[in-house]
Structure formats: structure tokens, C-alpha cells
Chain A
Amino acid sequence: EDQVTQSPEALRLQEGESSSLNCSYTVSGLRGLFWYRQDPGKGPEFLFTLYSAGEEKEKERLKATLTKKESFLHITAPKPEDSATYLCAVSNQAGTALIFGKGTTLSVSS
């Protein structure tokens, strides 16, 4: 069964305190791994797509990496505006839909 597990469930950081979020997955043939940001009551906002192990992508203070079993979302020197829930999802070989994890809720205080 295709499955995505995100850890930790919640993370509290001080402004400027770098950290990483983890996304572990089991999937029957990975087509792609996706990271989204979701603010309360809003739709998920696309951040990154990773397609193969070793791939990395960056956007401002965020950097996503991918191995054969997991992905990390590294947050460097976070700011309060980075506070949100970060969702990880995978697309399997059938490519019919995304399988989502439950998310990591990040809180950054000044």
C-alpha cells in the first residue's frame, strides 16, 4: 500500500533557528514527490516537485531533497511568516492521484 508519513507532527522554532522536516514514503514506483505549504483555512500552495533520488530544489529559505525512501524540507533561518503546515505527497506509477501525508505544522516565533 502506498503511504506517506511526515514527522514531526508539530515543530516550534525561534526565528533564525534552522531545522528540517521529514517525509518518509513507500510507493509502487515513484513518479514524483511534492511539497506544499498550507495556511489555516486555505488551499495548499505548491512549493516543489522532485522526481528522482539526489534531486534538490530551493526557494528562498526552503530547500527540498529526495532519497529513495524519504524527502527532507530544510528551512534555513526561518521567519515568523514561514509558519504554516507543510504537506508532502507522492504520485505513484499509475499516476492517478496524490497520496498525502498528514503534514507538519511549523510555528516560528520572533
Chain B
Amino acid sequence: DADVTQTPRNRITKTGKRIMLECSQTKGHDRMYWYRQDPGLGLQLIYYSFDVKDINKGEISDGYSVSRQAQAKFSLSLESAIPNQTALYFCATSDNPGQGLTDTQYFGPGTRLTVL
């Protein structure tokens, strides 16, 4: 079984709809991240969470919100989807490097979101 799973894998929605993307991990990592990838651009950080009670905005958080339901679950919501949010969305996890562990991030398979 994959260590980092994302649901749904593909989603087509309409402008103005609310949509939630979910991420679950079995790696036991404290830290979780949401990235967006557009063709020709690098991965851009949307939000990140270092533990259940910690949520932080990334470089492109406008139009998005997140919820950390448990150590293993981190969801991303688009409150009112718009066409320029059409992209590939990736969830990632990492250990807490303060505990002497590597902070290498491990990525899920991605969700392809299309907003019409």
C-alpha cells in the first residue's frame, strides 16, 4: 500500500463549487504539505502543517483553506473554485528534523483538478 494517498485522483468541477481534496499518510510523519503544480512551473507551496495544532500559509494560499484532522490526515479545500485553480495538486509529508531526522519530503500520487 502507498505511504501517502490522495483522493480523489481526478476531479472535474464547475466555477463557484466548493471542493475538498484529501490526503492520508501511513509514514507516521508529523509534517504535511500541500503543493500545486502548473505546466512549466515549479511546485508551489499552498499550506503546510507541522503538527495537528499548527497550520501555516505558503506562497499561494489565497483561495484555499486546509484542515489537519489528525496526524495522518490533511485536507485542502477550495471554497469557491475558479478556472485558474485548474492544476495538479500534491500532498507531501516529512519527519520533524528537530528530532535528528531527515526532513526529506515524500509525495503522494497527486490529484488532477479541472475547474470549468
Contact = CB atoms under 8 A, between A and B. Distances in A.
Interface of A: 4, 31-32, 34, 36, 41-46, 49, 87, 89, 91, 95-98, 100-103
Contacts, number: 53
Nearest to A42: B109
A51 B98 CA distance: 15
26 contacts: A4-B42, A34-B104, A41-B112, A42-B110, A43-B4, A43-B107, A43-B108, A43-B110, A46-B104, A46-B105, A46-B107, A49-B104, A87-B42, A89-B43, A91-B103, A95-B97, A95-B103, A96-B48, A97-B58, A98-B43, A98-B45, A100-B42, A100-B43, A101-B42, A102-B40, A103-B42
Nearest to A97: B45
B103 A44 contact: no
B48 A46 contact: no
A68 to B, nearest CB: 20
A34 B41 contact: no
Contacts of B74: none
A44 B48 contact: no
A4 B88 CA distance: 21
Give the interface residue-count category, chain B: 20 to 34
A31 B98 CA distance: 12
A88 B28 CA distance: 25
7 closest Cβ pairs, A-B complex: A43-B107, A100-B42, A100-B43, A102-B42, A44-B107, A97-B45, A43-B109
A58 B58 CA distance: 32
A101 to B, nearest CB: 6
B109 A44 contact: no
Nearest to A98: B105
